[in-house]
Amino acid sequence: MRKVVLITGASSGIGLALCKRLLAEDDELHLCLACRNRNKAEAVHATLLASHPTAEVTIVQVDVSNLQSVFRASKELKQRFQRLDCIYLNAGIMPNPQLNIKALFFGLFSRKVIHMFSTAEGLLTQGDKITADGLQEVFETNVFGHFILIRELEPLLCHSDSPSQLIWTSSRNARKSNFSLEDFQHSKGKEPYSSSKYATDLLSVALNRNFNQQGLYSNVVCPGTALTNLTYGILPPFIWTLLMPAILLLRFFANAFTLTPYNGTEALVWLFHQKPESLNPLIKYLSATTGFGRNYIMTQKMDLDEDTAEKFYQKLLELEKHIRVTIQKTDNQAGHSGSCL
């Protein structure tokens, strides 16, 4: 039986490169592309099948920043599949990134210059907005939409006889200092991306604590700095091209510059081939590339504690309950309105 792998954000960047690498290694997989834009997904679908005509590739349309879309997609997936072997929770946004030129300038002359370029710590701020669901957009897209997707798909994921994997695209930019349990949506801060990725790390740890006995395992990865739509939002492509000689030199000292989406998927592909129950849930797996272009995996102990992870998980459950009650009330009101017509 083919393994079924669901990938969110599969139409570009890391997600697209991941699809290509997984099929190149095993075209007996069933890849399900979970994408917001159906036209882009269909173009990727055609490209993948042209390269791997015996592969099974399907599409489900989902926008993880819209909970109604997540519920619809989950219902569709439960009708299609009896189980999911792996979900790559990869879709994410970094809206309106602003580069802190002052911090960059002072960082260039500090002892932490390599660390600064590896993690972008203190360099980036982002704008954020409220979604139709009344949530912060970065939080809903990067964290909560995926959380609801997992909750809805539990029947397909929890099989104690054969484990399933959750693999989150996190970041070296996930900073404890940018996250607060009291403001876990980061509505009052200026670094929602970093906060959301730290929230992802916490959630992964909590999911292991609550679901390992049911055969579901979760891990987080960082693809490094790869040139994708996300990084092109920070600086335009021509600036990256101008910086490339310096970046290639810097890569001899900072292995986070994977640069291409293919290189960035190194840790994501490696994790897929591991026994999930053998992996350390408190470790982040990092894609890395040497100055000579060789890809390898690094590990990093996450700066978090399991109690905070569990408290965050409980807050997400409370938010989920509130959202479901609100949706039910809205549906009931719509039903009553319809019956009066």
Report the number of distinct structural domains present in the chain: 1
% of the chain residues with pLDDT over 90: 72
pLDDT by residue (tens digit) across 197-220?
999 999 999 999 999 999 999 999
Range of the domain at 63: 4-338
Pick the catalytic residue: 88, 193, 198, 217?
Answer: 193
Confidence of residue 251 (pLDDT cuts 50, 70, 90): confident
pLDDT of residue 341: 44
pLDDT by residue (tens digit) across 38-73?
999 999 999 999 999 999 999 999 999 999 999 999
**CATH assignment at residue 118:** 3.40.50.720
- Distance from C-alpha of 198 to C-alpha of 303, rounded to nearest angstrom: 9
Confidence of residue 113 (pLDDT cuts 50, 70, 90): low
pLDDT of residue 339: 47
pLDDT by residue (tens digit) across 211-248?
999 999 999 999 998 988 888 887 788 888 888 888 88
Active site residue 193: yes
pLDDT by residue (tens digit) across 137-147?
999 999 999 99
Query: Region 169-183: what's the mean pLDDT?
Result: 95
| pTM score of the predicted model | 0.91
